[in-house]
Structures are given as structure tokens and as C-alpha cells.
Amino acid sequence: MSQTALLTALLIGAYFVLLTYGLRKHTHLVQGPWLFFFRAFFPNWKFYHAAGHAPRLYVRAQTAAGDWTDWHRVYARVPFRITRVLHNPEVNLALNHQNLVDHLWSDIQDLPEDGDITQRVTYQLVTRLAHEAVRGGRWGEALMLPVILTGVPSHFQFELRMDALQEHQRVPASSELVLQSPVLPTWH
């Protein structure tokens, strides 16, 4: 094991020890705001509870002329290659982005009646993900959007939808709107 890999493993281990200590500081119960930081390391397992529909992120962009594009789904469709079986950073990043969308859906479900989802970290991160997608973001060689947008968009908008997992030619059988962002300006 190289020194860099060993140092990385030690730092991650120290991070978990610090979080565990923060969670169990005065009691033997695991509780508190520190628990939120563990979510970054684990997928959202709520998809096991409701098979059939999954949260998906859709984006659209406004050109400088004021025309809006169609809604496009931001979802990993990276072709399989045998060389990527053991080391696959592009697909791992794409799956991490989808996990972030899953966490946003979970936060919306857990939000109290008078809660503001725009103040949640997951909402702000998904906003950045949507911005990256409309600006031509990629997962390695694969584009985040199925089309290339012409020109630099001036504004964008995103939606979180619950799509049926049964698809025909990559079009979901049904789609239910969960959240629609306001129109947001792009930044550089």
C-alpha cells in the first residue's frame, strides 16, 4: 500500500472516530447533529421501501434569446466496459450524484409542514448539480444530459420527479412532480 493510500485510510478512519466520539460524547445513545455527517458515506436505502418509483432530476435551460429547452433527465447512462469493473470513477461519481437526488427526496419527505427545503444542504447541492448539467457537465466521457445545449444558457430550472422504473426507450411509464425550483441564473 502506498504512503498516500495509507494516509488517506488513516484520515478517513480518524474522521469516523471523531464523529463517533461526537455522537456518544455524554451518553451511550447515538444521537445529535453529528449523525448528519455520516450520510455522505452511505447510500439512501429508502428505495427498498417503495419499489416501482424512483426520484429523478430533470433540468432545462434558457438561452440568451429567451427560449427554453425541453426538460432533460440527468441520469447516468454510461456504457459498460470490462476495463471498468474494478476501477470506475466516472460511474461512481454519477451514482453519487443520483444518491444526492435520493437524499433530497428523503429530505422533502421528512420536511415539516412549514419547512423550507431551499435551506437544506441537499437542495443547494442538487442546485449545483443541475447547474453543472446545463453547463455541459460530464461523467468522464459521458455527458450528463442526453443532448448538447447550444450556447451558454442564461437561466436554468430543475425538477425532482418520481419516475416509474418501467421504461420504454428510456422514457418512464409515468412521472409525478415532487419539486420544481424557481428560475435560477447561471453563474461562471
pLDDT at position 45: 55
Domain that holds residue 10: 3-41
In order of 167, 173, 174, the CA distances from 52 in angstroms are 11, 10, 10
pLDDT at position 93: 86
- In this structure, are 116 and 89 located in the same domain? yes
- In this structure, are 84 and 137 located in the same domain? yes
- In this structure, are 58 and 27 located in the same domain? no
- In this structure, are 37 and 49 located in the same domain? no
- In this structure, are 14 and 26 located in the same domain? yes
Structural domains of the chain, count? 2
- In this structure, are 13 and 90 located in the same domain? no
- In this structure, are 7 and 58 located in the same domain? no
Task: Tell me the DSSP string of 3-62.
Answer: HHHHHHHHHHHHHHHHHHHHHTSSSSS--SGGGGGGGGGS--GGGGTSTTEEEEEEEEEE
- In this structure, are 32 and 51 located in the same domain? no
- In this structure, are 56 and 141 located in the same domain? yes
Which one, of 30, 10, 160, 157, lies nearest residue 98 by Cα? 160
- In this structure, are 89 and 164 located in the same domain? yes
Whole-number Å distance between alpha carbons of 158 and 57: 7
pLDDT tens string, the chain, 188 residues long: the values are 788 888 888 888 888 887 777 666 655 555 555 556 656 566 555 554 556 788 999 999 998 888 999 999 998 677 777 877 777 788 888 888 988 999 999 999 999 989 999 999 999 999 999 999 999 888 877 888 877 777 788 999 999 999 887 665 566 778 899 999 999 999 87
- In this structure, are 37 and 100 located in the same domain? no
- In this structure, are 36 and 58 located in the same domain? no
